[in-house]
Amino acid sequence: MTNHEVDPTRRLVLGGLSTGVAAAAFSGTANAQQSAATPAAEPLQDPTTKYPQPPFPRQSQEWPGLTSRMDPVPDHGEETYRGSGRLTGRKALITGGDSGIGRAAAIAYAREGADVAIGYLEPEEPDAQEVLELIRAEGRKAVALPGDIRDEAFCKQIVADAVEQLGGLDILVNNAARQQSVASLADLTTEQLDNTLKTNVYAMFWITQAALPHLQPGSTIINTTSVVAYDPPENLLDYSATKAAIENFTKGLAKQVATKGIRVNGVAPGPFWTPLQPSGGQPIDALAQFGSDTPLGRPGQPAELASIYVLLASPGSSYSTGQIFGATGGSGGP
């Protein structure tokens, strides 16, 4: 063999070695790129200590209450919720979207790619403006719809305005609620009963009735009921009755509109830390220990419900309708 000739066996070995080195180098680069692109796993968190636990400072507010005046201030997912495009292009109307559970849903929907209209009372404008800014920060359209849903005409108008300004509607969240603690039935006035029924039940009927003609197959309706529909406390007779009505309405309407391809589900929260509580929803003396009687030993934070509202609005729950999804900290539930 001359000096210019190469042993074929050696050529194969060297060629294979070169290919292997190149492949290993490419694989290493690809793995490094993948590792850089993959976020680190979140550490496990103990649900009993994840959020503030009772006792809470003594506090009260005038109805309907503001988030900024609560101590501690609730978490709605402002800093923690991360979207993944599950609601891209969707158009949602959320009543009571300024604070509490509605606020958490509004933030999550925007981060999942939806345009969002929120209904709220005029005294809640400071809270509403914060939510609208958060929605717009995600590059989504935010629509403010202040007004009183105890009025039938406004309920029809809020839907019409949402459809016009969003360019359609495919997610409706009936979430706004009135809750006032009364120790005895003898002290429950007709005025309070009327206000609770109109806010929690009548408005749901009126708004849903107005929205249905605009909903296409694949659209969803989500109603906020409560654990008190199953386990009513002695101081919330009118509120508990309305939440039971919402649960019943949800299951019945789901059957009625199933053939239209519209899904209807409900969420039944347990004790959640929202402005409902310090603005008359709980006795002032009891508020310090609010949520302490649950197995998890604390109230829920609105951020802990956001993913449920996203799931029910997304195609991932396409076989769920007429269902009630609980989040009660371990107490009762559907």
Q: Is 296 exposed, middle or buried (0-12, 13-18, 19+ CB in 10 A)?
A: buried
**Contact of 93 with 172, CB cutoff 8 Å:** yes
Q: How far apart are CA 155 and CA 91, in angstroms?
A: 18
Residue 197 identity: L
Q: Give catalytic status of residue 239 as yes or no.
A: yes
**Of 81, 202, 230, 239, which residue is the catalytic one?**
239
Residue 27 identity: S
Exposure string for 31-43, b = 16+ CB within 10 A, e = fewer: eeeeeeeeeeeee
**Contact of 305 with 267, CB cutoff 8 Å:** yes
For residue 319, what are the CA distances in angstroms to 133, 141, 266, 312, 315? 34, 29, 14, 10, 9
Element (H, E) at 267: strand 263-269
Q: How far apart are CA 121 and CA 98, in angstroms?
A: 9
Q: What's the DSSP call for residue 300?
A: B
123 φ/ψ angles, rounded to the nearest 5 degrees? -65, -15
Six token digits for residue 47 = 């649900």
Of 170, 218, 208, nearest to 316 (Cα)? Answer: 218
Of 108, 222, 95, nearest to 162 (Cα)? Answer: 95
Q: What's the DSSP call for residue 123?
A: G
Active site residues: 239
